[in-house]
Amino acid sequence: MHPDGRLLLEPLRVDHAEEMVAVLADTELYAYTGGAPPTLYELQARYGAQVRGPADGGEAWRNWVLRERASGEAVGFVQATIVCDEAEVAWLVGIPWQGRGLAVEAAQALVATLAADGIARLQAHIHPEHTASQRVAQAIGLVRSGEVDDDGEEIWTSGPQP
């Protein structure tokens, strides 16, 4: 990420759950993904599993909390599930911080971090009506693949898949 960017990517820790539970509390965040805001206990358990990583070793999980540089506040997260040289990526910015380009900045920082590790092939699953996430995907160079996953989400990729 550019050193003068508005966000810091902080590797996920279980203790992030205490501040992230408030970031993830708005039910509007789940309009396209389904589900409900997690409780503190649920988020601690989820973060514990994410920090431990997958049991089988065939993939790697990378998770970061987004922290606004100026205020120090946690504002969202980015994540990547990596298999070989390809990553499935996701991003989320809390409702109070949306509409300011932070999701694009966060996704760009994620892409740069992955590229530094030699991962250039990306994929994201985006609800067909979630135009804000579609704009973020376009900003990081993803295009619709024409495929839809089992949940009805469109698969966006960084280019042709093998």
Over residues 95-113, the pLDDT tens digits come to 999 999 999 999 999 999 9
Pairing of strands 60-68, 7-11: antiparallel
Cα angle, residue 150 at apex, residues 144 and 152 outer, rounded to 5°: 55
Q: Token pair 């120090």 is at which residue?
A: 72
Mean pLDDT throughout 50-77? Answer: 94
Task: Answer yes or no: pTM beyond 0.75.
Answer: yes
